[in-house]
Amino acid sequence: MLGSVGSRGLLVGLLAGALGAGCATESPPASQTAAPKPRPEKKVQIGRRLPHPGCRALGPIKGVGGGGGWSQTDAKEHDAYSPLTAAARRLGGDYALIDAVARDDRGVTITGLAYDCFDRPSAPPPVVTAAPPPSAPKVVQVGRQLPHTACRPLGIIMGSGGGWNWTKTETKMQHAYEQLMESTRTLGGDYALIDVVGTDDRGLTISGNAYDCSRPPPAEAEAPVVVVPASESAKPAASVEERLRRLEELMKAKGLITPEEYSTRRRVIVDGL
């Protein structure tokens, strides 16, 4: 009897110890036991043209849609998009480029290529430099006399105008002038000096010389300044006192004028003050 009681007490004690040990064990924090959040699936776009030339090819992909229960072709093709994007995602891509679409009684099969287009910067557009505008043709004048003496001769030129179908002399001359100016322009000149003009039944021919008259003419030498020495008549006029003294000498000392003339001339000198 005592033995059974002792055995029972021992069993109870062991159970209590096991329960106490289980209760004493601390549970880990929730932050350590929580499963990591699943990463969002990579967004994959589908198209028939790459969004930019910087996309990197990853490999071929395929998507199948439809089956016996599908009746509409559009629904089958849309159903094939899901495995197509999943295949591109497995290769690490973000763009599914459609290459071919095959349809039959069972469904639709789409084949293509996976690309990585949006995780890398797109290639910059090529820089297109505008071509410089064409320069205007050099203006060439035509005449029979050079505009100045600084013109530089370049060579002999010739222009012809006319033919069997020409009827007007003015038209022949204009055509010959155009050839003269073009020949002068080719030599780098800006003036066509006409030398000889010849005409016949067929047309008109002008010969001359091309010149470069772009340099300014030399400045004319200035005339020398001539300094004229002062003459005796340019001396300053005598003062009033000197004039009166000379007038008195003429009357008294030399007797060249009469008292009446003296009085008249003296009055003129004094009135001029």
* CATH code for position 192: 3.30.110.70
Report the pLDDT averaged over residues 38-50. 81
Residue with the bigger pLDDT between 173 and 115: it is 115
Q: 271 pLDDT band (50/70/90 cuts)?
A: confident
Confidence (pLDDT) at 137: 81
Q: Mean pLDDT over residues 219-224, rounded?
A: 60
Residue 10: inside a domain, yes or no? no
Q: What percent of the chain has pLDDT over 70?
A: 66
Q: Let me know if residue 126 belongs to a domain.
A: no
What is the band of 60 on the pLDDT scale with cuts at 50, 70, 90? very high
- Is 9 inside a domain boundary? no
Looking at the structure, tell me whether residues 161 and 205 fall in a common domain: yes
- Of 75 and 176, more confident: 176
Average pLDDT, the chain: 75
**Range with lowest mean pLDDT among 52-66, 111-125, 197-211:** 111-125
Number of domains in the chain: 3
In this structure, of 4-18, 153-167, 205-219, 232-246, the range with the lowest mean pLDDT score is 4-18
Domain ranges, residue 55: 45-116
Domain C-terminal end among 212, 228, 255: 212
Q: Tell whether 134 is covered by a domain.
A: no
pTM: 0.35
Residues in the chain: 273
Structure confidence at residue 18 as a pLDDT band (50, 70, 90): low
Higher per-residue pLDDT: 75 or 83: 83
Which pLDDT does position 197 carry in this prediction?
Answer: 81
Least confident of 11-25, 89-103, 210-224: 11-25
State mean pLDDT over 122-132. Answer: 68
Same domain, 60 and 110: yes
